[in-house]
Homo-oligomer: A and B are copies of this chain.
Amino acid sequence: MNLSHVFLARQRIAPFVRRTPLVHSPGLSAQTGVHVRLKLESLQVSNSFKARGAFNVAAARLERHAGQPAQEDLLVTASAGNHGRALAHAAARLGVRLVVFTPANAPRAKLDHIARHGADLRAVAPTYEDAERMAKEYASRSRVTYISPYSHPDVIAGAATVALEIIEDWPSVETIIVPVGGGGLISGIAVAARAVSPDIEVLGVEADASPAFFTSLAAGCITEVDVRPTIADGLAGNMDPDTITFDLVKRFVTRVLLVPERSIEEAVRALVSLDHVIAEGAGAVGVAALLEGAKTRGRNVAVVISGSNIDTGRLAALIGTSG
């Protein structure tokens, strides 16, 4: 993948997604001693960055079919929730049928939206990895296309448009901090940032309850990890053993950090109280890393707030306690 794929993705998805704001956080800047700006993909269509990859996938398929979805056209995907919601939205908008496999315990806020967009929702898997396995088996049995939520060039190129916007809005950005689940977002951002300027540092952040990239990078190869429950549900799970994101992260990402649960919860609270921004756990791990004292190479630090699909009751409970 190179920058021309990212420009193509941007052109394809422009009618469907938002150019989200990059806002200065005076509170987090004061607390951390660096200049912090937040890239609010929490305000993206479908309330997560996943809309970018999803619309790029769906629009690219339509291009191949000359603007008409083929009668038999059916996509299958697996998702912790946000990718499924975004792809369901894009598929409905562009007239493509979709089957989505998710963990049974994914947040209601996410599952309800998948069903509402008319996708065939199968929320039955015990874990994210099981959902992925079931989706791939279903696709191969039915001879239809499996769309990985992270290991797919159109998904990654769509996610990479986040980096273009950050750098255009803030040409002097020095460090970009990015949540890491399957690695699609950070792969796209790192490829695009590297193409624009090799000096931009890209840091990844995982929940330490699900340290798939941290462990695999240390081992030098994809390594299975134990996954514990985490408030960053959108990041939980092992990566697909065939994923293309592992090599991209290994090549282009400066390092991947782990943050504990307590610090992710504190980050969700800090975003509400300091910046009046709602983020889900997965969306707040970049802020958690800063609150944990993560060192950045530069002083101009953009933090990607990747999504805001958190159940309201859970948010109320979180911000109602003071740590």
Mark A residues whose CB is within 8 Å of B: 18, 20-21, 23-24, 40, 42-43, 45, 47, 269, 272-273, 276-278, 308-310, 312-313, 315-317, 319-320
Closest Cβ–Cβ distance, residue A76 to chain B (whole Å): 25
| Whole-angstrom CA separation of A18 from B23 in the bound complex | 8
| Whole-angstrom CA separation of A21 from B315 in the bound complex | 23
Closest Cβ–Cβ distance, residue A197 to chain B (whole Å): 25
CB-based contact B276/A308 at 8 Å: yes
* Chain B hits for A309, CB < 8 A: 276
Chain B residue nearest to A318 (CB atoms) is B316
Closest Cβ–Cβ distance, residue A42 to chain B (whole Å): 6
* Chain B hits for A277, CB < 8 A: 43, 278
The one of B23, B272, B273, B317 in contact with A320, judged by C-beta atoms closer than 8 angstroms, is: B317
Chain B residue nearest to A42 (CB atoms) is B276
Chain B residue nearest to A30 (CB atoms) is B116
Given contacts A20-B21, A315-B319, 5 further A-B contacts (CB under 8 A): A18-B23, A21-B21, A269-B312, A272-B315, A277-B278
| Whole-angstrom CA separation of A21 from B17 in the bound complex | 13
| Whole-angstrom CA separation of A308 from B278 in the bound complex | 12
